[in-house]
Amino acid sequence: MNRSDLLVEVSDLDYAVDGRSIFQGLNLQAERGRITAIMGPSGTGKTTLLRLLMGAIHPQRGSIRFFGQDVVHLARGPLYALRRRVGMLFQNGALLTDLSVFENVAFPLREHLRLPEPLLRRLVLMKLQAVGLRGAAEMMPFSLSGGMARRVALARAIVMDPEVIIYDEPFVGLDPISMGVIVRLIQSLNQTLGITTLVVSHDVQEINAIAHQTYLLSEGAVVAAGTPDALRTAAAPVVNQFMNGLPDGPVPFHYPAPDYHRQLLQEGW
């Protein structure tokens, strides 16, 4: 693979919070113009990885290169310039509650560009049309269903026509129809505009339909990487458990805790 084809390079990354290790020697890559999925059980640090990629937090060791730049050591100005090249769909939508749907989508345009109002209006309505919510332009966030709010957040993420779009759990709270629309939109943005896509998701079926490369994280490292088909047929127990939704396997349901009966009987913590 040509190095110029790599948009994201994470190398030998260590990150810990309050002495608890999140990543140990993490390595992964995302190719330009492709859809890269990052999957794994809850608590494996997938959202934390996105924060590391965007320079919101820094690792204790290792390197992160984004657009060929060393994110860890970027000054504030260059880091903000890098972020303007990226559209982000946050896990909770993160809509501004005092702004209408229209103004939420228009917010990045007003912040970063000085567009004539008629042009800005067309751009916002085009993005709302793409997610099926042009008719909700004047609604306020409190009036939206959870699925509608996430579609508004997606319209905002793509309004600046970014080179890269990062989706943090894009299918949460969507009904099957809306989910199908978003899956097709992610795929069409990648195919028609060549937008590089990073998707963090638990939704195996949807990711299998669109991803070119999938990384499965567990216990602070990549335990499997390859095409969705390759991961689906992998023999490793942790991969098989996650990809096929098995209740029993290496990944426990319970977070580590003291003996249950002893804790129930003791006073205090």
Q: What is the pLDDT of residue 262?
A: 79
* Tokens linked to 20: 């608890």
CATH number, domain of 208, equals: 3.40.50.300
Q: How far apart are CA 184 and CA 9, in angstroms?
A: 27
Judge whether 188 lies within some domain: no
pLDDT score recorded for residue 234: 67
Note the pLDDT of residue 41.
Answer: 73
220 sits in which H/E element: none
168: which strand partners? 200
Mean per-residue pLDDT pooled into runs of 10, the chain (269 residues): 75 88 89 88 81 90 90 90 88 85 94 92 92 91 85 89 88 78 83 86 79 85 80 66 59 69 72
**Residue at 13 is within a domain:** yes
* Domain assignment of residue 196, yes or no: no
Residue 6 lies in a domain: yes
Cα–Cα nearest to 178, from 208, 228, 144: 144
Whether residue 74 is contained in a domain is answered as yes
For residue 11, give every residue at least 6 positions away whose Cβ sits within 8 Å of its Cβ, in sequence order, or none: 27, 62, 63, 64, 65
* 44: containing domain: 1-85+202-269
Domains: count for the chain: 1
Contact present, 62 and 32 (Cβ < 8 Å)? no
- Look at residue 93 and tell me if it is in a domain: no
Tell me if 96 is assigned to some domain: no
Within-domain flag for 127: no
Q: What integer pLDDT is reported at residue 5 of this predicted model? A: 79
